[in-house]
Chain A
Amino acid sequence: NAGVTQTPKFQVLKTGQSMTLQCAQDMNHEYMSWYRQDPGMGLRLIHYSVGAGITDQGEVPNGYNVSRSTTEDFPLRLLSAAPSQTSVYFCASRALGQGSPLHFGNGTRLTVT
């Protein structure tokens, strides 16, 4: 069982470039989310989705777009990368019932120069 799979593991971008971070889960989880890891601030929620066709903003959505066309996939798009977006990004999913924990992917380390 693969769980939550994130690709790529590492990425270096130049300022202004765009890219998509991929996230896929094979647990049929309705809820998927993206977080970024910032020193001293823990994990901050970027966007989340409670099902196909439904997305919503988290704490720090600016500069990021998401879509949810299938239950399995939840890609995160950086439209015009900025150095402030240098971070480790985690995708996480869970079933929607009360008491269901988040399952995290292994993270994508992004550096914007």
Chain B
Amino acid sequence: ILNVEQSPQSLHVQEGDSTNFTCSFPSSNFYALHWYRWETAKSPEALFVMTLNGDEKKKGRISATLNTKEGYSYLYIKGSQPEDSATYLCAPDTGKLIFGQGTTLQVKP
């Protein structure tokens, strides 16, 4: 079973702070790296799917980078807002998607 590690497990920041999380995974035999945003009492929603080494994706204040050779991806949130509070999940695509345990972000107004 694929070992997907996310750090930190949880994060508390003030509104306006910028933050980043890490997703680490075995660097071989995967097709893409997925990031999902999961709000409490809702279903996970896709943020990014990245396929190329050095790939960088951006959606508003959120961006992500991918290093396939060393097996990690970073998710960045610039100027965090209370509505960014959620759990952020990553999953390498090896034909099936195995998720990490997630990073839970709490943004205080």
Which of A42, A98, A103, A107 contacts B51, CB < 8 Å? A98
Interface contact B43-A43, CB-CB below 8 Å:
no
Is B96's CB under 8 angstroms from A104's CB?
no
List chain B residues, Cβ under 8 A from A92. 44
The answer to whether the Cβ of B45 comes within 8 Å of any Cβ in the partner chain is yes
Report Cα–Cα, A40/B102, bound state, in Å: 8
- With A and B bound together, what is the CA distance between A59 and B1 in angstroms? 7
Q: Is B13 an interface residue (CB 8 A)?
A: no
- A44 to B100 alpha-carbon distance, docked (Å): 9
Known: A44-B99, A45-B98. 5 other contacts (CB 8 A): A35-B99, A90-B44, A101-B36, A101-B49, A104-B43
Is the Cβ of B97 less than 8 Å from the Cβ of A42?
no
B43 contacts A42, CB within 8 Å? no
Q: Which residue of chain A is the closest to B6 with respect to CB atoms?
A: A42
Are the C-beta atoms of A42 and B32 separated by less than 8 Å? no
Q: Does B60 belong to the interface (CB within 8 Å)?
A: no
B44 contacts A58, CB within 8 Å?
no
Closest to A104 in B: B43
* Given known A-B contacts A43-B89, A99-B51, A33 and B31 have beta carbons under 8 A apart: no
- Decide if B100 touches A42 in the complex (CB within 8 Å): yes
Q: Which residues of B contact A102 (CB under 8 A)?
A: 34, 36, 44, 46, 97
B109 contacts the other chain (Cβ, under 8 Å)?
no
Interface size of B in residues (CB-CB distance below 8 Å): 22
Across the interface, do B99 and A42 meet the contact criterion of CB distance under 8 Å?
yes
Q: Write out the residue numbers on chain A whose beta carbons fall within 8 Å of the beta carbon of B93.
A: 98
CB of A106 within 8 Å of the partner chain: yes
Contact A40 B101 (CB under 8 A): yes
The CA-CA distance from A64 to B39 in the complex, in Å, is 27
What 4 A-B pairs come out closest when comparing CB atoms? Answer: A101-B46, A104-B43, A42-B101, A42-B102
Q: Which of B32, B45, B96 contacts A33 (CB 8 A)?
A: B96
A50 partner, pick from B34, B36, B95, B99, beta carbons under 8 A = B95
A-B contact pairs, 24 of them (CB 8 A): A33-B97, A35-B99, A41-B101, A42-B89, A42-B100, A42-B101, A42-B102, A43-B89, A43-B99, A44-B99, A45-B98, A45-B99, A58-B98, A59-B98, A90-B43, A98-B51, A99-B49, A99-B51, A101-B36, A102-B36, A103-B46, A104-B44, A104-B45, A106-B43
